[in-house]
Amino acid sequence: MVLKVYGPLFASPKRVLVTLVEKGVPFETVHVDLPTEEHKQPPYLELQPFGQVPVVFDGDYKIFESRAVMRYVAEKYRSQGPELLGKTLEERGQVEQWLDVEAVNYHPPLLNLTMHVMLAPVMGFTPDEKLIKESEEKLAQVLDVYEAHLSQNKYLAGDFISLADLAHLPFTDYLVGPIGKAYMIKDRKHVSAWWDDISSRPSWKEVIEKFRLPFLN
């Protein structure tokens, strides 16, 4: 029974996909058509009541929220591939800390930039310029903390790659690409080296080559 991941073309599901590839876990994908709002209609809402991607099935077992699925996969397949949760209680604590930093500090302003810079022209709404400015300022402050932290640590949770790093991949890929603000990464020496490291992993290259939003090609 292979894992089934819904919505592979979109960013949050790619957190799950990159984890599966890292751990060498076979999976299938199911397209969810966000542009036609398939995710806001009953058949999909019965799978994921908040109308968000991804939802993942492991046989009959259902789980959603991308970072929760990452943890589930890393725990279930702990004995294969890289140890993405840390080896000790203390390392796991740092992985959890930086996973939560990504979710609550890093992601919200970056999601605003994704919506209002990258998606507004595609979806046909007027971008909120004030929100763009505030979000870039907020993200810059967060990245300044990352810069100081990564000057002392190769990866976010310490000297080992973990889920915390991988969770940053999909939306940062938008930031340096279609959002057009690569300078936010490149102008920070240690953040830039970290980004080059994690984004050049074969797992991530495989995910973005296989699952690409058509309108970003």
- Residue spans of alpha helices (H) in the chain: 11-23, 42-47, 66-76, 89-101, 107-113, 120-123, 129-150, 163-166, 169-176, 183-186, 189-199, 202-210
> For helices 189-199 and 169-176, what crossing angle results, to 10°?
120
Complex with a second copy: residue 163 or 198, whichever CB lies closer? 163
Q: Which residue has the tokens 């604590």?
A: 93
Residues 6+ apart with CB under 8 A from 128: 116
Complex with a second copy: residue 59 or 202, whichever CB lies closer? 59
Per-residue binder mask for a second copy (CB under 8 A), 142-181, x = binder: x--x--xx--------------------------------
Complex with a second copy: residue 90 or 187, whichever CB lies closer? 90
Q: How many residues bind a second copy (CB under 8 A)?
A: 32
Complex with a second copy: residue 105 or 199, whichever CB lies closer? 105
Query: Which position among 24, 108, 121, 177 is part of the footprint of a second copy (CB under 8 A)?
Result: 108
Q: What DSSP letter does each residue of 83-134 carry, written as one string? A: --S-SSHHHHHHHHHHHHHIIIIIHHHHHHHIIIIIIHHHHT----HHHHHH
Query: Which range in 33-41, 87-95, 179-187, 198-206 contacts a second copy by CB under 8 A?
Result: 87-95
Peptide bond into 178 cis (omega under 30): no
Closest to 110 (Cα-Cα) out of 205, 190, 184, 212: 184
* Shortest distance in whole angstroms from residue 65 CB to a second copy: 4
At 204 the three-state DSSP class reads helix
100 binding a second copy? (CB under 8 A): yes
- Residues from 26 through 65 that contact a second copy (CB under 8 A): 49-50, 61, 63-65
133 binding a second copy? (CB under 8 A): no
Q: Which residues bind a second copy (CB under 8 A)?
A: 49-50, 61, 63-65, 67-69, 71-72, 75-76, 89-90, 92-94, 96-97, 99-101, 103-105, 107-108, 142, 145, 148-149
